[in-house]
Amino acid sequence: MLNGVPEAERDAITVIVFLATFFVTLGIGKFLKRRAGVRLGLAFRLFSLILAFYTAIAVYGVHAPWRKHVGAAAILLSTALFVALVNRYVWDFYFEKKRQTPIPHFLREVVGGIIFLIVLLFVLSYGYHAETQLKGLLAGSGVIAIILGFAGQNLFAGIIGGISIQINRPYKVGDWLQVHERFAEVMEINWRSTRLRTNDGIYLDIPNNEMVSHEIVNLHYPTEVHAMRIRVGVEYKNPPNVVKDALYRAASTANGVLAEPKVKVFLVDFADFAVIYEIKYYMGNHSRINEINDAVRTNVWYELKRRSITIPFPIRTLQVQRRGAPRAQDDQAEALSILRGEPLFSCLSDEQLDQLVKQARLNVFGRGEPVIEEGSPGNSMFVLLRGAAKVSISKNGSSIQVATLNAGDCFGEMSLLTGEPRSATVRADGDCYVMEIGKPVMGEVLRDAPDCLVLLSELLAQRKMETEGILKEVSRTDEQALKQRQYSATFLNRLRTFFQL
């Protein structure tokens, strides 16, 4: 057909016809599969290659008996059986089943194509005696291959990188990675690139050759649990052990921080204007990193504020605070008004209540922070000035909410007066301002008012009987009166012992 065309041009036209026939036939097959649901597998791809082969040799002008054509077609089609055996015994049995190494579909197709190409060259060389034409064709296509190699260098590098990732499996879909300065979840691994999604919902499409050529930190290997670190600077005047205790409690109670492994706090540096501490805590799935870091930092601020531990400004900064006293006076007046209505303090005079309030501490708790925890030791009570809090108890391994506290409520008085462990957990529901009255302050007041001990013991006995359900009826029996006197005597003895009166 192309006898009058120069040999170099005829070789190029033959290659173009071969490629065009193959891809057009393959495109028709994909169209039938997508539109009509016709499933066409490896056999159809071999058919496309054979059709392209015979079209190319017809255009080139190769003439041979029909029996030779049939034999060549049979040899070419038999490669389907050979490729199927390779897939079954090499890829499936040896690599995936025996070595537990998944082989990507793309690699299987590449190996199958190479096998068919080798068979095709064998048929052309020994079946059609086209050694001379093949040498010219390969020499002419070598220049094209070099051009395609330079043009598709990144593409081929991405493909090779994808094969390496699929075999070595440094990460898988669902893992969280640190790539450069970004944290992202693996959404898809294909033959060319890896698609990631950051916790801001931004998708990154990174070529596989870049993924394998840079350091990859897999935050989900070998487990999802990994450590995070946050640094905090405080003033030099604060004792390190006091600061460490405060930072430990703040991080341990933050939402999302794992209980095991435990939080650790290190003193890492003496800086120009602050002592630098590092908090090491553990978290699970990295998708909540922003929320967990926020919870830790928020708890740190509130905990340091309650303990009067200051996060300093740089020494070159001048900070002037004004009008701090009026706010404290307002809080004391509010607490004084609340305590006057509390039966436990009805025996105290206004001067004694005023003394109690002035020596108490004002604390601030952030949303979700525990003010007191069930079972923990305590020797103070609290007056809720502003905000709200939830009261819960532990039962059968779960936490059950039993009440809600609002401004004006008091809690923790049993621990203040007797030293009993906390009977419930009180957790701030939003920012809570509470006044804490401790044992030393209460003891000093009771030394000046010893008559209050009798009244307090009677009130505590009455509350205990109410809790136990003894005072359900209005009428009081002699047995109930005896029980209350026994409880009163017990509490009176405990009060005197606890306050050393």
The answer to whether residues 452 and 499 touch, using CB atoms and an 8 Å cutoff, is no
| pLDDT for residue 96 | 75
The mean pLDDT value for 304-333 works out to 70
Q: What is the pLDDT of residues 20-73, one digit of tens each?
A: 887 787 777 777 777 766 666 666 766 777 777 777 767 766 665 656 666 676
Strongest mean pLDDT among 110-114, 349-353, 421-425? 421-425
| pLDDT for residue 8 | 60
- Beta pairing class for 275-283 and 264-270: antiparallel
Strongest mean pLDDT among 322-336, 337-351, 378-392? 378-392
Range in 89-93, 306-310, 382-386 the model is least confident about: 89-93
> From CA 109, how far away is CA 446, in angstroms rounded?
89
Per-residue tokens: 39: 């499933």
| pLDDT for residue 299 | 93
β-pair partners for 399: 394
Q: Which residue has the higher pLDDT, 257 or 55?
A: 257
Q: What is the pLDDT of residues 108-120, one digit of tens each?
A: 777 777 887 787 7
Statement: residue 315 has pLDDT above 50: yes
Q: In this prediction, what percent of the chain has a pLDDT beyond 90?
A: 12
Statement: residue 284 has pLDDT above 80: yes
Q: Which of 452, 453, 479 is nearest to 465 (CA)?
A: 479
Range in 13-22, 134-143, 397-406 the model is least confident about: 134-143
Place of tokens 């930190």: 217
Statement: residue 318 has pLDDT above 60: no
pTM: 0.55
At 249 the three-state DSSP class reads helix
The helix or strand, by DSSP H or E, that contains position 232, with its residue range, turns out to be strand 226-234
| pLDDT for residue 198 | 84
Residue 250's pLDDT band, with cuts at 50, 70 and 90, is very high
Q: DSSP label at 90?
A: I
Sign of CA dihedral 370, 374, 376, 379: positive
Q: Which residue has the higher pLDDT, 427 or 172?
A: 427
Q: What is the mean pLDDT of the chain?
A: 77
Q: Which residue has the higher pLDDT, 476 or 312?
A: 312
| pLDDT for residue 471 | 56
Q: Which residue has the higher pLDDT, 250 or 128?
A: 250
| pLDDT for residue 474 | 46
Q: What is the largest CA-CA distance in the chain?
A: 131
For the chain, what's the residue count?
501
Q: Which residue has the higher pLDDT, 373 or 342?
A: 373
> From CA 247, how far away is CA 266, in angstroms rounded?
10
CA Rg value for the chain: 41
| pLDDT for residue 144 | 47
Burial of 85 (0-12, 13-18, 19+ CB in 10 A): exposed
